[in-house]
Every structure is written in C-alpha cells, then in structure tokens.
Amino acid sequence: MTIQTTRLSDPAVRAFVAAVNAHDREAFMELLAPGATMADDGSDRDLDDWIDREIFSTHGHMEVDRESNGGRALIARYSNDTWGEMRTRWTFTVEDDGKISRFETEQA
C-alpha cells in the first residue's frame, strides 16, 4: 500500500519526494545542504549529473511503500523513462537546519 507523500513523517524527506514527483529541480536543490552528497548502489556519484540523468531528464517518480527511522528511510517503487519501475531503498541524512546533506539509494 502506497503512503501518500503528504503523510510522510520527515518534513525534508516529504519535500524531497514531492519535488521529485513534481519534476521541480529548483525546489529539489533548495532542500539540499551545501556540499550535499549521494550514492547509488553503494557508489558515490556526482550529485548534479545523477539527479539530471536519473530524475529530471527522465521523469523520475517515487511511490513510497514503507518508511522507517523516523521517515528518513524509505522503501519505494521508483520509475523513470530509462529503467522503468524498480523497488528501491532510500536513506537520508537530514541536518539540524532541515537540509538534506546526503541521500543514498539502491535496489531493494
């Protein structure tokens, strides 16, 4: 059963999912702390390159099935025009100011 984005527990993660699904790169970038990092399948990636390739140029979309760790860990069905749909795990590091300093994703 999908969790509605508006019901996700962590405000930063909720805004992250909303920005991905709205294809709003500007809102997405505003959520990130300066120098934010990310990893895909255990390997650090260039953040700007990855989000353009995996989210914004390919219509990325997240349907969240489960959350844990106070809403900072998600199991979601992620889809984009390149890969279709896959079951993914996302984890987020959110700083005291509410900005995301790191996110990691991998197949679940």
Q: What residue ranges define each of the domains in the chain, with the CATH number in brackets? A: 5-107 (3.10.450.50)
DSSP state letter for 55 = I
The answer to whether the pTM exceeds 0.95 is: yes
Q: State the pLDDT at residue 1.
A: 81
52 has a pLDDT exceeding 90: yes
Q: What number of CA atoms fall less than 13 Å from residue 98's CA on the CB side?
A: 9
17 has a pLDDT exceeding 90: yes
The arithmetic mean of pLDDT across residues 23-37, rounded, is 98
Kindly give, in sequence order, each residue whose CB lies less than 8 Å from that of residue 57, ignoring residues fewer than 6 positions away.
Answer: none
Q: Report pLDDT digits (tens) over 59-89.
A: 999 999 999 999 999 999 999 999 999 999 9
